[in-house]
Every structure is written in C-alpha cells, then in structure tokens.
Chain A
C-alpha cells in the first residue's frame, strides 16, 4: 500500500503565496514555470488557494497585464494577512510598492493604520507619508478647482430634476383630465353636469395637490423606474471607479425627495438581507462591513422600496 500523501492546508498555501509576492524583488506571476511564479501549476490544492487569493469579495492579490506577462501584487488585505511574517527590514520596501497603487487619501490612511500595527517601521515610513500627504494636498487643490465646475453642472442637474417633477405633475393633471372626460362620457345626460360628491372632490383635491410620494400604482411604478435608472448609473460609476461622475450623480439622487443611502463604506453592521447583499456564507445578524452603500426610496404610507442593496463583506 502506498504512502498516503500529507494533506495540504489551503490557508498555509495562501499565506506562503502572499509572502512570496511580498518578498519578491521583481514582478511575479501567479502560476507557471520558473522562479518568478508563485505556484508551479494552477491545479490540485493550488486551485483552492488561488481562488482564495482572488476571492471576489475581498481579494488578497491584484492582477495586472494579460496572458503570460500577467503579474500579481498584494492588495492591502493581502498585505495585512502576512504583515506579521515580513521581516522588519523588508517592510518599508513592501509597503512602498503597495502604496504606489493607492489613491493619495487611501495611502495616508493605509500608512496610518500600518504604523499602529508595526511601530518599529515608523522611521522608514515617514518619507512615504510625506509623499502621500503632498499628493493628497495636490489632489485636493485640483478638486477644489473642479468643484466650481461641478457646482455649475449640479445646478443644471437640479434644474432638470425640477423639470422632471413638473412633468410628473403635468402627467397627473393630464390623467385627471382624461379621467374626468371618461367620467363625463360614462354618465347619462342628466348626470353630466352633476356636481361631484364631497368625497370625490376631496379625492380629486388630494390628487391634484402636488406630492412627491405618489400613491397611484402607475405613478409608483414610474417613480420606481426612474429611481432604478438613476441608481443604475450611480452603481456603474462606482464599479468603474469614477468618483467624480459618481459624486455628481450621488448629489442628484440625494436631492430627490425620499431617497436615502444605506450604509457608509467601512461601517460595521448586522446583516439584513432586505438592505444588504454579499457573497455566500452571509446570514441574518452576521457582523459585516459595508463595501458599497445602497439606496432606499421612501414611499407613501410608510412603505420603502429597496432600489439597491448595500454590498457588504465579512
């Protein structure tokens, strides 16, 4: 009988792979032949480890390039996983590489968190923090210049939204006129000029009074449709990582009566499937972290329509 092969622990494989990427002096590939490859093949036990590394919800590595020249680097989450195992003399060079790919504000936050965890590396990290803060300052100045431009665009957007509201009211008025005509056509001649009953008057008055929370099924459907369209564009901007475009849309949606954001990025909360969604293994009351907020539309009679669930992870 052959000797049984020792079981390979996927977590160990993941950790080894992350360390190899962290410690590499040059670019490394995920799999293949040669010293610059993390795994010799993508099959067997390596397959599960690679899946964990690429985990869609909280990836530990990021790939760049295509085909055989595709290389991998650590994400902050991947770095965090093996930070303790990286020799202190290597920390600064690993962090430098990692920080290069982060936006200035995220870089500052990342470095601040890192210093708390590895105070021994603080002297080496100072230049990195300085560079990140300079970049952050430049970025905020650029944003301030663009803010003026954006304000003008937002004003145009608000104007469009106002027009939208007016169109809704106009649509309502047209429907009421049509209903009145139908009513007149349905009634016999002797009833044609009959005055509306007080209750009917009251009903019509409530319909003609401009309201942003429709109660009629058609209007609710129309409002939900428009809400989904706006939020769909917002989520596109989010997925494409275009913060400027997203900010503009977010302001527009925010200003529509009844809309509210669900969760803030990084916020920890109890999972509620009505408002949150994530990968497999999430259940009611699990503690989760928001990675992308969602949107809820408040409707008449205390109803809520969840337009987009917040994306969460454990």
Chain B
C-alpha cells in the first residue's frame, strides 16, 4: 500500500493529475501556474511537439505547444494516446528493416554532417522510405501498417512526455502549503482505458508502454496497483467526491460514498442484488461508455473492489467531430472564420452556440451560430446526439437485463456532457429498456420537483473525476 499517491488521468486531449497527500486527506487536483485554456487550471494539454530542424530532435510539451502548427521542421502530435492502445503486438525497434536502421543511425547522421547533407533531406529520406514501406513489401522487408508506425511514435513520445509532466507536477507541489513531504518519492498510479483492464492486463502493449514510460521518467510506481481503469476511477472520484475517510487506520467506505446506493447494495444484497454505475465520458476525440457492476457476496461491506466487474466500449466520436460538422454546415464566411478561430474563440463559441443558442457576435460578420444559423447548428447537434444516443442504447442492450431491486447510477462527464442537447439525449437513451437510476451525476443538471436525486458536477469533477478517484484510498486494499 502507499500512504500517499499521485494519479495521472492520461487523457486524449488533456492530462490531469491528482494527489492524495496523506491516507485520510482528500484527493486534490494539481494545477499549473499558467493556464492557456478555460477548461481549468488542472487541464494540461496532452500535446507534444518536436523540433527536427537541428542535429538532435528537441521535444516540447503541454501549454507551450497547444497552438503550435506542424511545418518548417516542427512536428506537432495531438491525440496520440489512442495509438498507444492499438491492439498490435510489439514495439517499433523489432519492425525496423536494415535500411530503416541505417537511415536512423547516428553513423549516417555523422556522415551526412561530414558531407554537408542537410538534416531535413535526411529526415525526408526516412519519411520516403517509411511511406514506401507502407505501400509495398520490398525484398527482405516486411510491411508495417500505419497504425504500428503511429504506435511506435506514441511509444517514443510517452517517456519524454512523462519526464516533463513529472517536472510540472513537482513544481505544482512546491507551491502547495509546506508540509515537509518528499513529493518526488510519492508513487504514481495511472488510469488506463477499461478495455485494457483485466486479468491479462500485463500482456496489453499499451499497459507496458505506459509503465515503461513512467519508469523511464523516474516516477516510482504504486507498489500494488499502478494502474486502474478510467471509468472505475471516474466513478469512485465522483461518488466519493474525492473524500478519503479513515477510522483507526481502516477505510470507512460508508462515509466515503455518502451512504449512497452503492452502500445500500453492499449492506443488503438480498433485496438489492446488483449495483451498477453507468459512466459515459464525452471527450474531445472519443466517447467512452462503461458499466461497473458490483455483485456483493453476502453482507460483505469490507472490500467491494474485488466484486466489481467492468465492461467498456470506446467510440471514436467526440466534441471535435461536432465542431467539424458545424464548420461545414455554416455559411462560407462564418465557417472560414471558425476554421481560423483561436482556442479562445472556440472556448467562447461552444457554450454560446451549443448551450445558449445565442451565438457569438463578430463586428465584421454579425452573429455566428445564432438564431439565423439555428437550423444548421441544431441539425449538427441532433445528428451528433443521435449517434451517441444510439450507441448508448446499443451498449445497454448488450448488457442484458438486471434483476429487480438492483440500483443504478448514471454518471456523465467530459466536455460534451456540458452541452444540454447531448446530455438530454444520453439521459433519455440510458432509460430505454426500463432502466432507471437512483441518482444522476452530470454537469449543469437542474433539479425537477419530485424527480430523482441529482448531483450537479462542477468542472473539477466533470473533467478531473478520474484523476481524483484514481488517487482515492479506495484502491488501497490493505487498509480495509
């Protein structure tokens, strides 16, 4: 077990890190001193850029590269996390052909320098050979898919990213009230997609890539469970509200979960045979569905973790796809403006158009996404919401029915769940087939008189729930 732990929620668009300073201290999100996004100070862009203009590639990360553009010898990598979890065998080196090894060797670089060959030309040659290899299998070579290449790149970016992230985290810790803690010796846990979570987790290449990268970055790993599933951590973070409660050195599950449905099921499995948390995270690039099912054995309230099972599905559809469809649907001059819009302008555009329907007013163009464009925007929102709702129904149907008396909670997180049309569509879809929820947790929910209980999530929980939950004492089994 670990008295203290960092938890990294390694997201496709943003990475969040939480800290549990002491066994009984609430988990807290760590934030940087400078924020370039309205998402929250704790959201760190999972973006890496590499400067390949010199002899040695130079990486840069996070806020400094969030708005950089690829070109002129600079390569910018966004949404590279998905490549880590591609279901392919091994890492890059084993796939290198002799020709590629030669082209990537230090010796060739030295020779190129000696003969005055520009680095850019050498890089171009490498790309040319890589591209040709994708198309044909040459003599003595094997075809490498684009996916494997992406995974290779992602695997090489990961250690650099985590080295940098560790520096940011330790810097953030140095600004915390002085406690005398040695933050650099606190172990880390990382959340991973639920499909990679399970008995044979060690065999998943993504798991290995991440843990290797953390090791290379100098993070001590949590001794018992260095990883946990994203939706599981998300649910724990939201249901416990990041609280860690100990009494005489033992975890107080009842106090942590606020005596909610999960506790009811744990205490009375006869009448409430199953507890389910249906977690839907609508992110920038993906929408993740997960159901956590708890089937207690007897009246065992001591350690629920062992009785939880997880089913997950990840859909490559996120708010960035909605943005793209709205760009295409608007009149040309407005879509041209949106194509060039800065992150600041997008941060204003999304709530003003997707939530308020009011649009943003620009002196030269008038109102963009307002009443005049309402039909186009509504159609995009409906199409997007319909697709996610359809997937929600499909996912629920694949799980079958649940016994009567079972208790379910619905948890909606991620940037997409702030958009009413999407949130409403998911809530409605989640009720098909007679499913009902003892409580719904989502941002911007409104309580209706006589309606079921709701938990209105603020930005910290809607976006940082996984990091907060992953740092929970809930995962320290020896304290039960």
B403 interface residue per 8 A CB criterion: no
CA distance A225 to B360 in the complex (A): 13
**Interchain nearest-CB distance for B453 vs A (Å):** 16
Smallest CB gap from B73: residue in A = A281
Q: Are A303 and B35 in contact (CB under 8 A)?
A: yes
Binds B, one of A83-91, A100-108, A117-125, A233-241: A233-241
Q: CB < 8 Å: which of A224, A237, A277 contacts B363? A: A237
- 1/0 per position for B28-65, CB-CB distance to A under 8 A? 00010111101001000000010101000010100111
Q: Are B364 and A279 in contact (CB under 8 A)?
A: no
Q: Are B36 and A274 in contact (CB under 8 A)?
A: yes
B399 interface residue per 8 A CB criterion: no
Most buried by A among B53, B68, B73: B68
Q: Are B348 and A306 in contact (CB under 8 A)?
A: no
Inside 8 A of A224's CB, which chain B residues have their CB? 38
CA distance A225 to B348 in the complex (A): 8
CA distance A246 to B70 in the complex (A): 32
B223 interface residue per 8 A CB criterion: no
Inside 8 A of B71's CB, which chain A residues have their CB? 279-281
Inside 8 A of A279's CB, which chain B residues have their CB? 69, 71
A283 interface residue per 8 A CB criterion: yes
CA distance A281 to B342 in the complex (A): 18
Inside 8 A of A273's CB, which chain B residues have their CB? 60, 63-68
Q: Are B36 and A232 in contact (CB under 8 A)?
A: no
Inside 8 A of A225's CB, which chain B residues have their CB? 38, 348
Q: Are A239 and B364 in contact (CB under 8 A)?
A: yes
CA distance A169 to B313 in the complex (A): 46
A213 interface residue per 8 A CB criterion: no
CA distance A272 to B345 in the complex (A): 20
- With A281-B72, A304-B33, A308-B344 as given contacts, are A236 and B362 in contact (CB-CB < 8 Å)? yes
B459 interface residue per 8 A CB criterion: yes
Q: Are A272 and B67 in contact (CB under 8 A)?
A: no
Smallest CB gap from A272: residue in B = B64
B458 interface residue per 8 A CB criterion: yes
Smallest CB gap from B363: residue in A = A236
CA distance A224 to B37 in the complex (A): 10
CA distance A239 to B341 in the complex (A): 12
Inside 8 A of B344's CB, which chain A residues have their CB? 228, 231-232, 307-308
CA distance A281 to B68 in the complex (A): 8
Q: CB < 8 Å: which of B64, B70, B175, B348 contacts A274? A: B64
Q: Are B364 and A240 in contact (CB under 8 A)?
A: yes
B74 interface residue per 8 A CB criterion: yes
Q: Are B342 and A277 in contact (CB under 8 A)?
A: yes
Interface size on B, residues (CB 8 A): 37
CA distance A240 to B342 in the complex (A): 16
Interface residues of B in 71-126 (CB under 8 A from A): 71-74
Smallest CB gap from B63: residue in A = A274
Interface residues of A in 196-239 (CB under 8 A from B): 217, 221, 224-225, 228-229, 231-233, 236-237, 239
Inside 8 A of A233's CB, which chain B residues have their CB? 363
CA distance A228 to B351 in the complex (A): 13
Smallest CB gap from B49: residue in A = A283
Q: CB < 8 Å: which of A239, A240, A280, A309 contacts B36? A: A309
Q: Are A232 and B364 in contact (CB under 8 A)?
A: no
Inside 8 A of A237's CB, which chain B residues have their CB? 363
Q: CB < 8 Å: which of A228, A236, A281, A307 contacts B74? A: A281
- With A217-B458, A282-B68, A283-B58 as given contacts, are A229 and B348 in contact (CB-CB < 8 Å)? yes
**Interchain nearest-CB distance for B110 vs A (Å):** 24
B347 interface residue per 8 A CB criterion: yes
Q: Are A283 and B60 in contact (CB under 8 A)?
A: yes
**Interchain nearest-CB distance for B163 vs A (Å):** 16
Q: CB < 8 Å: which of B64, B66, B70, B73 contacts A284? A: B64
Most buried by B among A277, A283, A305, A309: A283
CA distance A43 to B34 in the complex (A): 46
CA distance A216 to B34 in the complex (A): 17
CA distance A272 to B67 in the complex (A): 11
B460 interface residue per 8 A CB criterion: yes
CA distance A82 to B225 in the complex (A): 66
Inside 8 A of A231's CB, which chain B residues have their CB? 344
A302 interface residue per 8 A CB criterion: yes
Inside 8 A of B67's CB, which chain A residues have their CB? 273, 277, 309
Q: CB < 8 Å: which of A277, A280, A284, A305 contacts B35? A: A305
Q: Are B74 and A282 in contact (CB under 8 A)?
A: yes
Inside 8 A of B342's CB, which chain A residues have their CB? 277, 308-309
Q: Are B35 and A304 in contact (CB under 8 A)?
A: yes
**Interchain nearest-CB distance for B474 vs A (Å):** 24
Q: Are B459 and A221 in contact (CB under 8 A)?
A: yes
- 1/0 per position for B336-373, CB-CB distance to A under 8 A? 00000010110110000000000010111000000000
Smallest CB gap from A314: residue in B = B72
CA distance A309 to B65 in the complex (A): 12
CA distance A279 to B69 in the complex (A): 6
Q: Are A228 and B60 in contact (CB under 8 A)?
A: no
Q: CB < 8 Å: which of B38, B64, B74, B458 contacts A280? A: B74
Q: Are B34 and A280 in contact (CB under 8 A)?
A: no
Q: Are B69 and A280 in contact (CB under 8 A)?
A: yes
Smallest CB gap from A276: residue in B = B67
Q: Are B60 and A284 in contact (CB under 8 A)?
A: yes
Smallest CB gap from A309: residue in B = B67
CA distance A305 to B53 in the complex (A): 31
Inside 8 A of B348's CB, which chain A residues have their CB? 225, 228-229, 232
Most buried by B among A224, A231, A239, A284: A284
Inside 8 A of A284's CB, which chain B residues have their CB? 51, 58, 60, 64
Q: CB < 8 Å: which of A228, A236, A274 contacts B34? A: A274
CA distance A237 to B358 in the complex (A): 21
Q: Are A302 and B33 in contact (CB under 8 A)?
A: yes
Interface residues of B in 412-439 (CB under 8 A from A): none
Q: Are B363 and A240 in contact (CB under 8 A)?
A: yes
CA distance A274 to B71 in the complex (A): 19
Q: CB < 8 Å: which of B66, B69, B364 contacts A236? A: B364
**Interchain nearest-CB distance for A278 vs B (Å):** 8
CA distance A182 to B102 in the complex (A): 71
**Interchain nearest-CB distance for A176 vs B (Å):** 18
Inside 8 A of A307's CB, which chain B residues have their CB? 344
- With A236-B364, A240-B363 as given contacts, are A280 and B70 in contact (CB-CB < 8 Å)? yes
CA distance A239 to B342 in the complex (A): 13
Smallest CB gap from B365: residue in A = A236
Question: Given A284-B51, A306-B34, list of 5 further CB < 8 A pairs?
Answer: A225-B38, A232-B345, A236-B362, A239-B364, A284-B64
What are 16 inter-chain pairs, A to B, with CB distance below 8 A?
A217-B459, A221-B38, A228-B38, A229-B348, A232-B360, A240-B363, A240-B364, A273-B65, A279-B71, A280-B70, A282-B68, A282-B72, A283-B51, A284-B60, A303-B41, A305-B36
Closest 5 CB pairs of A and B: A281-B72, A280-B71, A273-B64, A280-B69, A306-B36
